[in-house]
Structure 1
Amino acid sequence: MARSKQKTRFRPAGLGIALIAATLLGACARKDLANSGVPVDVRERHPIVLRDAPRSLDVFVGRSGGGLDARQSEDVADFAREYRRSGKGGLVAQVPTGARREMAAHDTLNGIRSALARAGVSGHALSVRTYPVQDENLASPIRLTFASLQAGLPHDCGQWPADTGVSSLKDDMRNEPYWNFGCSSQATLAAQVADPIDLVRSRSEGRPDIAKRMGAISKIRDGKDPSTQYRQETPQINSSVGGR
């Protein structure tokens, strides 16, 4: 009887230890679940998304007016071609006011209209708005803006939500990439894509070259190799350089 009472006396203590151990293991499991919730694939951790965003060009107003110089005229022409290719909606020109250079801004705006017309953008597509100049000593450009479909990341790079050092041996032994890894390469890829739609779907096939196709079929019928044989003669180094 004494032994059975002694065993009964220690059962609650053993049960409490088991509950504490289960709680600690559950906390570790929840932490592991949180860590495993971060995607390992860089395309899932830093996805490239498409969105309508503004494109802008600042055309600086000269003090003496006189329209646009060669550099700014070329910039406006390139901006107009980009607007014709991917622009959505109208083109907006924000003109500074209150800088005692209204005549110079007016001449610059006329130069912009002429450059746009030469690039194929009619004057009806341009709407003019004004904004007050805060500091007359700073340059106050005419800002051209239009909306277009652009590729980018849904967040900024350079974020470090977790320590990359050895503060937690358990987490550091996982050998998983840190969160910011691959963010800059994804952002650079999104900025270099000429047409963002190419990231969503491929283009349709172009018109086939019938002459080349029939030539390859004729070679196959004759038992010849239809592949293109590239021959390039490279001179030897000692033949072009005089030796002694």
Structure 2
Amino acid sequence: MSEIPLPTRPFSALLFDMDGTIISSIASAERVWSRWAEAHGLDVASFLPTIHGVQSVETIRRLNLPGVDPEAEAAAITRAEMDDVGDITEIAGARAFLKALPPERWAIVTSAPRALATRRLAAAGMPLPALMVAAEDVRHGKPAPDCFLMAAERLGVAAPECLVFEDAPAGIQAAEAAGATVLVVTATHHRPVSAGHAAFPDYRGLSVEAAADGIRVIART
């Protein structure tokens, strides 16, 4: 349980990162990226921590590898990830938590392409949201705030009225830049970075109350 208490105020909407936050796809992603890194002569152990929370094309682009087309490589990686979904699972309690929310009051905001996000959610048996903001929807991915600002706008609320569920530093930075409140999910990280935010390992210790004034997230005692 978090050492920092959950905010008690109601929120107009809840925004969820996907990978590492409501589903665990780290094993799948790291298998695919490990093969790619080995093929390009990279040190896999030092490279893998850099792939989480950002768009694949940005991960490749910042390596500045000679003769590598980031767009083409990212597309190939996405295809490989879509073929490798056998062990993708929900973060404990996430399915029930999402199903308890009013469908018009939450969204998924992911750095994954939409097709991959949809496939991974289906593989984990997770509900599809009425609204998803995916990699192709924004020009600047996390840690830029664009994705969270877009999700809030499409839900008809202001970003500071949202509670964002995140797990990775890039996503936390994006939510902070958007002015949202952050709750960090630590299930898939050995060294989670909460950066002064409330943090919980999963959703089994959380419940929601939806009322006219908004949605409250409550820590079970």
Say yes or no: TM over 0.5: no
Taking structure 2 as the reference length, the TM-score comes to 0.28
Which structure has the larger Rg? Answer: 1
Q: TM-score with structure 1 length normalisation? A: 0.26
Q: Which is bigger in relative contact order (C-alpha 8 A, separation at least 6)? A: 2
Greater helix proportion: 1
